[in-house]
Structure 1
Amino acid sequence: MSGSGKTTLILESLVPALQAKSAGTSPPGHVAAVDTRAITRVNMVDATPIGVNVRSTVATYSGILDDLRRAYAATDTAGRRGLTAADFSYNTGSLRCPRCEGTGQVSLDVQFLPDVDIPCPECAGTRYAPAADDILRPAPGDPDGGISLPGLLALTVRQAIQQVGDIRRVRTRLQALIDLGLGYLTLGEDTPALSGGEAQRLKLATELNRKQSDTLFVFDEPSVGLHPLDIRTLLNVIQRLGDNGATVIVIEHDLDVIANADYIIDMGPGGGTAGGAIVATGTPDDVSRDPHSVTGRYLSDHLRSVRPS
């Protein structure tokens, strides 16, 4: 229930107490004790935007651009021209667009109105000078073809993995994005423009293939704004983190998410001053049978509707 104390319990009590224990400092004054067990790391996964800098893209945030720059620097054409990985940086490299200086945008000064950002007319938003288009890297299985780095960044994740599947670390991270349901994003997409749900999943891209037995992941209402099919993807991601040994706490209202929990803590019984108490705990079946739980009443109907009769 909204205002029932979920955020106070998790984000204002448990998380700072775990972080204090890990840092060897005192927990918040209202926390009497905390048992961390094996948890030494807390990873907050919320819907806050990823940065405000237009230089941050899916490729940079996922950590693949450095690998791609090295791969293009290793081509014969780059070698003949004396280019290194540094030259392929759209922030400071010699191949960046001189007009927009690698941002892909220019600002128009509109009289009496705020400045308007438009795609750079010189590079068409690719961030690179025309010379970068001359340096092609063959795709696996297609030695006679090739694609430039600006061309690659214009592809979706799903398209790009076909072009760079021979670079193991890049392939692994692109596959993680596909597994997260983000295969439709382009590599050069500005991360500040992503939705809250996309930002949440992108933050997890580097976590999916790690052992997580010492990590607590906290999701703060991850279902907000998601289509039911996206919620299914989210549940698969949470299951995958659990399979890697992680502990996952989800602050949530959505009944699909609640019904898939291993254990529920139902806060309430109301919101605001009527909240702050633990109404029911247990598995979804336990809570659905608890007569004191309003959540349980709706959860019971939901479980009947999704389970075969």
Structure 2
Amino acid sequence: MTVDEASEFFTDEGAVARTLQLLRDIGLGYLRLGQPATELSGGEAQRIKLATELQRSQRGRNLYVLDEPTTGLHASDADRLLVQLQRLVDAGNTVVMIEHDMRAVAQADWVIDVGPGAGDAGGRIVVAGSPGQVARTTNSRTAPFLAQELARARA
């Protein structure tokens, strides 16, 4: 049975229904119940850990560091994941993401653009600021892509 199927089956089962709905909300409805952890991708395992955190009572003051949590996700699943991450922030937590998806970067409160290139050509902070500030930076390789995403989101 998948998480989606189980969610429909356990609709009236309180805590079970809430847990299954949360897994659906972060885009894991297709997973099979009892699926071995060794069969999960890194992103799936990361989102299961996130779901575990989201179930806890939120008192704030936690730091979550996520490495490219939207990688491999369909755009609608990435959007659902970002909504859940915003819930953590709204509860007083800090979420730090290493991310290349400009849709996710455009929703950040603060962006730190590291570069200017990869490997030996990188590792320095090129610019830090709001997504709009970073998008207006002329020496950032990220800026044109972020500016394009911000313009698309406004349209």
- Residue of structure 1 equivalent to 2:36: 190
Aligned length: 154
Tell me, yes or no, if structure 1 residue 253 matches structure 2 residue 68: no
Q: Which has the higher relative contact order, 1 or 2, with Cα contacts under 8 A spaced 6 or more apart?
A: 1
Q: Which has the larger radius of gyration?
A: 1
TM alignment of 1:151-170, pairs within 5 A = 155-170=1-16
Corresponding residue to 1:207 among 53, 61, 68: 53
Corresponding residue to 1:293 among 128, 133, 140: 140
- Residue of structure 1 equivalent to 2:65: 218
Q: TM-score, normalised by structure 1?
A: 0.46
Q: Secondary structure at the match of 1:208?
A: helix
Which residues of structure 1 form unaligned runs of 5+?
Answer: 1-154
| Higher helix proportion (structure 1 or 2) | 2
Q: Secondary structure at the match of 2:52?
A: coil
CA gap of 1:159–1:301, structure 2 versus 1, over 3 A, is closer
- Residue of structure 2 equivalent to 1:307: 154
Corresponding residue to 1:234 among 48, 73, 81: 81
How much does 1:215 deviate?
Answer: 0.7
CA gap of 1:162–1:190, structure 2 versus 1, over 3 A, is same
Task: Say whether the 8 Å CA contact 2:3–2:32 is kept in structure 1.
Answer: yes
Task: Say whether the 8 Å CA contact 1:212–1:241 is kept in structure 2.
Answer: no
1:249-281 CA-partner distances (Å, limit 9, x unpaired): 001111111111110011122222222221111
CA gap of 1:162–1:228, structure 2 versus 1, over 3 A, is closer
TM alignment of 1:38-117, pairs within 5 A = none
Tell me, yes or no, if structure 1 residue 244 matches structure 2 residue 59: no
Task: Say whether the 8 Å CA contact 1:177–1:183 is kept in structure 2.
Answer: yes
Percent identity between the two aligned chains: 49
How much does 1:160 deviate?
Answer: 2.0
- Residue of structure 2 equivalent to 1:13: none
1:176-200 CA-partner distances (Å, limit 9, x unpaired): 1122122222223222212232222
CA gap of 1:164–1:212, structure 2 versus 1, over 3 A, is same
Give, in whole Å, the separation in 2 of the partners of 1:206 and 1:297.
Answer: 36
* Corresponding letter in the other structure for 1:267: V
CA gap of 1:274–1:172, structure 2 versus 1, over 3 A, is same
* Corresponding letter in the other structure for 1:164: F
Q: Secondary structure at the match of 2:142?
A: helix
* Corresponding letter in the other structure for 1:297: P
Q: Secondary structure at the match of 1:248?
A: strand
Alpha carbon RMSD of aligned pairs, Å?
Answer: 1.9
How much does 1:246 deviate?
Answer: 1.4
